[in-house]
Amino acid sequence: MFPNTRSLFVWCLAAPLEVEGAILTSRPKPIVVSSSPPDNAGIPLDSFVSFSFELSSWPDFAGNLTHPNTFSYNLLNNIGQLQGSMPVARVGGNTQDIAIFDASQRTGLVGVVRPNISADYPTIITIGPSFFDSYKTMPKGMRYTHGFNLGANSSADRAATYASAAYACKAIGDNLAYWEYGNEPDLFFASGYRPFNYSEADYVSEWLNGTLHIEQVVKSACPSLKGTKFMAPSFAGVAANGYMTLDPVKVFKENLNADDNIGIISSHNYMGVSTSPGITLQGTLMNHTNVIAKAAAQLNVSRNIAALGGNLAPRVPFILGEHNSLARQGRPGLSNTFGAALWGVDWNVYLASQNISRSHMHQGTNYRYQSWQPIQTNLTDKGTKPPYYGNLAVAAMMAKPSASSILKITHLEASSQNTSFYTAHIDDVLSRILIVDLHTYNTTANNYTTNFPRPMVEHEFKLPKGCKSGQVQRLMANGSDAVTGITWDAKSYAYELDNGKGVRMFNVTCGESVEIDNKGGVKVQVPWSSAAIVSLEC
């Protein structure tokens, strides 16, 4: 039913979904869907589906002026076309606080990997002026957040960081979203950048001094760039715990926004650490209960910062400026599977429903949780990875007909540990229902025998009066452990087919419709380990 992405063909079957050998079960009662969104529905920002790129990997993902990365260009453009606004690219991460600017360096980035420290990225880095050319290669409408080095503590290194701001603002120009100064300073002690007694007051003092210098350089070098703001504080954790030594709420109590230059509040999140024992696909990622619990910690930070009031709430949105499945670049067999794509759908749409306003999923060359590998290396083949298909489904759920339209996302209480439901209202009219099935279904004998028939659940919804028709788009693969053969709406976005552009696949259902009866009832069948969006005319 679901071919390998190397199978090359271009049409789909406009027919009801069929899964060979599937066992069909039904929910005990219909889910009632309201004609209007509740008062607490989430209102995501435009460009909700966005990305965070490891600074040392950015030249790989973007290319340069002579060799732009058209594969990345196509994949980002796909997202922009689906959601109606291009992603925002945040360029930073761990290597942000390692990179030293050298105005005389002709090469964009020179990095030295020291495997005893990290095999995943260079830990000695210098960047030259041509590094910033990579900001000029991506699709029209892309905006950028560039991360400056706060970790380096010598006067020479800080002077170099401030000097780099002139090159950054000239390259990015009006495509600037925000600046960022420092990545995860609550881990500066663990990283060896600051002593254990480095306090919230120390961080705030450094941050205010540094951002003032950056703003002065930008004002001089790019006088037409008005009203530039920062993304902050970009902490790894939600509270000080000994390993993470700073509290995100306390830094705002210490008046981090004294200069009123924070345009967006950023936090980081991972569902676990890839090297920890007990991490599983079903228990850690494909688990709606765990999604709610992890989000609750972020929501607590957001509420506590908003409660401080002043010049922060309610006008400064709270986002996840860096996140993905498992910290330390993910784990093979988990972070690179179709199950991780389904987690990404559930996690991101749940965030949107809770007014976490934008999502930057972190990417890096050779990272296990990446949405795509931008170049060929001796470790990873260039190509589209399973999480990207989840990004597409989230973008489709966030689609708006115009920039002035108001999108509201609601999490439905009928959700359970293994199945989640969401609605999208546009301008207060019911527009979409999302169903995410989080039961693992493996194509190997991991949990089941190889002959275990794939279950399929029929969900019934009671829609408001006036809903006339429904069209179904599906996120599908052979199982939760699949790493190839994945489709969104019967399209493959494989590098091998058309350099990341969508290609209709042979023998995959598309153009599927569902009937709405005269009482507003509609039934949708969803196989285990899959997701479906029902677009409604109401």
- Residue 488's pLDDT is 98
23-41+408-537: CATH topology is: Immunoglobulin-like (2.60.40)
- Decide if pLDDT at 191 tops 70: yes
434 token code pair: 């999302």
Q: Which of 54, 206, 322, 512 is catalytic?
A: 322
49-404: CATH topology is: TIM Barrel (3.20.20)
- Residue 446's pLDDT is 46
Percent over 70 (pLDDT), the chain: 95
Give φ, ψ of 198 to 5 degrees: -60, 120
- Residue 87's pLDDT is 98
- The full set of domain ranges for the chain reads 23-41+408-537, 49-404
When pLDDT is averaged across residues 493-498 and rounded to a whole number, the result is 98
Average pLDDT along the chain: 94
pLDDT in tens, 498-509: 999 999 998 788
CB 109 within 8 A of CB 131: yes
- Decide if pLDDT at 299 tops 70: yes
Instruction: Return d(Cα 200, Cα 356) in angstroms, integer.
Output: 24
Tell me which amino acid residue 217 is: V
Instruction: Return d(Cα 129, Cα 107) in angstroms, integer.
Output: 8
Bridge partners of 31, per DSSP, are: 461
In what helix (H) or strand (E) does residue 55 lie, and over which residues does it extend?
A: none
At which residue do the structure tokens 């053969």 appear? Answer: 485
When pLDDT is averaged across residues 432-438 and rounded to a whole number, the result is 98
pLDDT in tens, 379-391: 999 999 999 999 9
Environment class of 208 (CB within 10 Å of its CB; exposed 0-12, middle 13-18, buried 19+): middle
For the chain, what's the residue count? Answer: 538
512 an active-site residue?
Answer: no
- Residue 124's pLDDT is 96
Q: Which of 200, 206, 254, 512 is catalytic?
A: 200
- Decide if pLDDT at 22 tops 90: no
496 an active-site residue?
Answer: no
pLDDT in tens, 367-414: 999 999 999 999 999 999 999 999 999 999 999 999 999 999 999 999
pTM: 0.95
Least confident of 14-28, 234-248, 500-514: 14-28
- Decide if pLDDT at 444 tops 70: no
Measured torsion, CA atoms of residues 478, 482, 484, 490, in degrees rounded to the nearest 10: 40
- Residue 12's pLDDT is 60
- Residue 15's pLDDT is 61
pLDDT in tens, 216-229: 999 999 999 987 89
Residue 202 CB coordination number (10 Å): 16
When pLDDT is averaged across residues 306-320 and rounded to a whole number, the result is 89
Q: For residue 528, which of 481, 484, 490, 487 has the smallest C-alpha distance?
A: 481
Residue 60 has, within 13 A of its CA and on its CB side, a CA count of 22
- Decide if pLDDT at 44 tops 60: yes
Q: For residue 87, which of 370, 489, 398 has the smallest C-alpha distance?
A: 398
Least confident of 13-17, 297-301, 425-429, 493-497: 13-17
- Decide if pLDDT at 13 tops 70: no
HEC sequence for 91-115:
EECHHHHCEEECCCCCCCEEEECCC
HEC sequence for 437-473:
ECCCCCCCCCCCCCCCCCEEEEEEEECCCCCCEEEEE
